[in-house]
Amino acid sequence: MTLRAAMLQVTESRQTEILELLREKRFVDVRTLTERLGVSVATIRRDLAELEGAGQLRRTHGGAVSVSQVALDPGYADRAVSNLKEKTRIAETAAAMVQDGDTVMLDAGTTALEVARKLSLRNGLTFLSNGADILAELTGNDRNPVYAVGGEYAAINRSYRGPMAEHFIRQFRVDKLILNAASVDLERGVIFTGSPANAAVQKVMIEMAGQVIVVADHSKFFKPSFSVVAPIAAMEAVVTDDGAAEVIAAAPPPLRSKFIIAPAR
């Protein structure tokens, strides 16, 4: 075998592994790929460009998503990588609040997905989720029991919701709930989500959880949403990033005490 042929074989093997990861996770970031495959950032970016040219993935800021996911919901692909650094810091802080032996419910959403990635590396936890991507992430570690919430599938956030999902969730009592928020409204003191159907599921999740940890990057403080989920005062904590520090500082003290700013790296 010539040197060129050997190099092509190595490249094909590496790109095959990238596509296999995408089939499992639907989104991969460059940093994870460089660590897993032991190559440079430039090499990974070149691989992603070649695979995109072949129509096998779509590059995004900081990584790539599967073409099936882009076809299903282009908006979700963009949300998955929006403020990814901030979401990663939020996830690290929220995951540290989970104790060994906890039962943890994770609400569908891109920030909770980052929390799932952190928690999936640990043992001795039990998981419950209505998020398709989150379930795919958590099932990679067979030492942690995982319970999948079923129901009506909602492509907009890759979740299961509706009466079946609500009934299933009511069969469990969990120690911690990792809850996404479409909007954090400090003026009204409540968190919002995008639809009544999402709100209904989230309200049941809150009902069945000992502690509720909301995860929301700073962008969620500066945009409206539609359906009220719960008062911020009822949450154990709202974990966010320093982009929301100024607006939080202006909130009333009782409300302000609920917020945790994830430390910058």
Range of the domain at 181: 84-261
In SS3 terms, 9-52 reads as: HHHHHHHHHHHHHHHHHCEEEHHHHHHHHCCCHHHHHHHHHHHH
The residue that leads in pLDDT, 77 or 166, is: 166
| Mean pLDDT for the stretch of residues 110-124 | 95
Domain annotation covers residue 221? yes
- pLDDT on residue 223: 79
- pLDDT on residue 71: 45
Does residue 206 carry a pLDDT above 80?
yes
pLDDT digits (tens, 9 = 90+) for 21-41: 887 776 788 888 999 999 999
Same domain, 165 and 229: yes
- Most confident residue range from 136-150, 198-212, 220-234, 241-255: 198-212
8 A C-beta contact, residue 233 and residue 189: yes
- 73, 104, 135 - which closes a domain: 73
8 A C-beta contact, residue 238 and residue 90: no
Q: Is the pTM of this model over 0.85?
A: no
Same domain, 45 and 110: no
Same domain, 89 and 197: yes
Identify the CATH number of the domain in which residue 213 sits: 3.40.50.1360
pLDDT digits (tens, 9 = 90+) for 214-237: 999 998 997 788 899 999 999 999
Same domain, 192 and 246: yes
8 A C-beta contact, residue 169 and residue 204: yes
Same domain, 140 and 9: no
- pLDDT on residue 6: 75
Identify the CATH number of the domain in which residue 15 sits: 1.10.10.10
262 pLDDT tier (thresholds 50, 70, 90): very high
Same domain, 67 and 109: no
Same domain, 153 and 224: yes
80 pLDDT tier (thresholds 50, 70, 90): low
Domain annotation covers residue 203? yes
Same domain, 21 and 98: no
